[in-house]
């Protein structure tokens, strides 16, 4: 391709659109550890505790019109950031999609479930 198009060889790809790429003899592996750390820093959760599952077993979130609404813009920003993280963490898909249903009027319960992810 270099004969036909003007390009330069930059070596093995290491980072692309927030995705870290590790190329070894065993294969090509991708992860977003740096991006995940940036999300935690951006939303003030650097010192949060790790959990074994992204959502409480048997968690049933419902729309609540009477409870005080939390910051809708911040909630949407966190959900959007987590959606991008799904590129390398499909195990989080159910939990993220569950909390995304309540972007219209999130409450403290929804925000707590979101922060657990």
Q: Rounded CA gap, 80 and 89, in Å?
A: 14
Do 92 and 84 meet the contact criterion of CB atoms below 8 Å apart?
Answer: no
Mean pLDDT, residues 12-18 = 88
- What Cα–Cα distance (Å) separates residue 77 from each residue in 11, 23, 29? 34, 32, 27
Torsion-angle region of 58 (φ positive above 0: left; ψ -120 to 50: alpha; else: beta): left
* Residue 27 scores a pLDDT above 90: yes
* Per-residue pLDDT band at 30 (split at 50, 70, 90): very high
pLDDT of residue 56: 85
* Residue 22 scores a pLDDT above 80: yes
* Residue 1 scores a pLDDT above 80: no
Q: Tens digits of per-residue pLDDT, 35-60?
A: 999 999 999 998 888 888 888 888 88
Among candidate residues 27, 25, 30, the one with its CA nearest the CA of residue 14: 30
* Residue 33 scores a pLDDT above 80: yes
What is the domain partition of the chain in residue ranges? 15-116
Tell me the whole-structure pTM to 2 decimals: 0.80
């Amino acid at each position: 391709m270099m004969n036909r198009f003007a390009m330069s060889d930059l070596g093995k790809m290491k980072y692309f659109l927030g995705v870290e790429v590790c190329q070894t003899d065993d294969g090509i592996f991708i992860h977003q550890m740096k991006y995940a750390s940036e999300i935690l820093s951006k939303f003030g959760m650097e010192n949060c505790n790790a959990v074994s599952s992204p959502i409480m077993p048997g968690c049933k979130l419902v729309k609540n019109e009477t409870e005080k609404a939390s910051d809708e813009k911040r909630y949407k920003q966190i959900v959007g950031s987590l959606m991008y993280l799904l590129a390398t963490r499909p195990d989080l898909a159910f939990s993220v999609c569950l909390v995304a249903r309540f972007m219209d009027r999130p409450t403290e319960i929804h925000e707590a479930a979101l922060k657990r992810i």
